[in-house]
C-alpha cells in the first residue's frame, strides 16, 4: 500500500502519532478531529496515501464508495441525532484554495446540536 513517511495522517494510521480511533478496517481509518468545530467531529481517511480528492481515479471508485457508505453509520455511532432533525455535514477540503491543510485525503463528518464553533 502506498504511504508517505512524512505524512501526518499516514503516521496516525501507522500508530506513530496517537489518535482517538472511531473505526478501522483493512482500507479505512477514522478518528476524532483534534480541533473539533462541532459536538461530533471526526475524520475518515483511506489508509493508502491519496493526497486529496483531486487525485481520485476510477481505480478508487470502490474505496470511495465504501467510505461514503461508512459516513452515516459512523455518524450515528459517534452520536449525531438521526435524520432529518439531526443529521451531519460531510466536507473534504481540496487544495490550497479549497482550504486543505493536511495533504492526505480526509473527509470531515460534523454533527450534533447547534450552535457549532464554526460552520
Ligand atoms: P483540512 O486539511 O483543512 O481539512 O484540516 C485538517 C484537519 O486535521 C483539521 O481539522 C485539524 O484539526 C485536523 N488535525 C490536524 N492534526 C490532527 C491530529 N494529530 N489528530 C486529529 N486531527 C488532526
Ligand atoms: Zn498520508
Per-residue pLDDT of the chain in tens (119 residues, 90 and over written 9): 899 999 999 999 999 999 999 999 999 999 999 999 999 999 999 999 999 999 999 999 999 999 999 999 999 999 999 999 999 999 999 999 999 999 999 999 999 999 999 98
Res 51: pLDDT: 98
Identify whether the C-beta of residue 110 lies closer than 8 Å to the C-beta of residue 37: yes
The mean of the pLDDT values for the chain is 98
Sign of the dihedral through C-alpha 66, 71, 76, 78: positive
Q: How far is the CA of 3 from the centre of ligand 2 (A)?
A: 6
Q: Is residue 119 part of a domain?
A: no
pLDDT digits (tens, 9 = 90+) for 54-64: 999 999 999 99
Q: How far is the CA of 35 from the centre of ligand 1 (A)?
A: 7
Q: What CATH number does residue 32 fall under?
A: 3.30.428.10
Q: Decide: helix, strand or coil at residue 11.
A: helix
pLDDT digits (tens, 9 = 90+) for 94-110: 999 999 999 999 999 99
User: Is any atom of ligand 1 closer than 6 Å to the C-beta of 19?
Assistant: yes
Q: Is residue 2 part of a domain?
A: no
Q: Is residue 30 part of a domain?
A: yes
User: Is any atom of ligand 1 closer than 6 Å to the C-beta of 102?
Assistant: yes
Query: What is the residue range of 15's domain?
Result: 8-111
Amino acid at each position: 500500500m502506498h504511504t508517505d513517511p512524512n505524512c501526518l495522517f499516514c503516521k496516525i494510521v501507522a500508530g506513530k502519532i496517537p489518535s482517538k480511533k472511531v473505526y478501522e478496517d483493512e482500507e479505512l481509518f477514522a478518528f476524532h478531529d483534534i480541533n473539533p468545530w462541532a459536538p461530533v467531529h471526526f475524520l475518515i481517511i483511506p489508509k493508502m496515501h491519496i493526497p486529496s480528492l483531486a487525485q481520485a481515479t476510477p481505480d478508487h471508485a470502490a474505496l470511495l464508495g465504501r467510505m461514503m457508505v461508512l459516513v452515516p453509520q459512523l455518524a450515528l455511532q459517534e452520536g449525531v441525532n438521526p435524520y432529518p432533525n439531526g443529521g451531519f455535514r460531510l466536507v473534504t477540503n481540496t487544495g490550497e484554495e479549497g482550504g486543505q491543510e493536511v495533504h492526505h485525503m480526509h473527509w470531515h463528518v460534523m454533527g450534533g446540536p447547534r450552535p457549532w464553533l464554526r460552520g
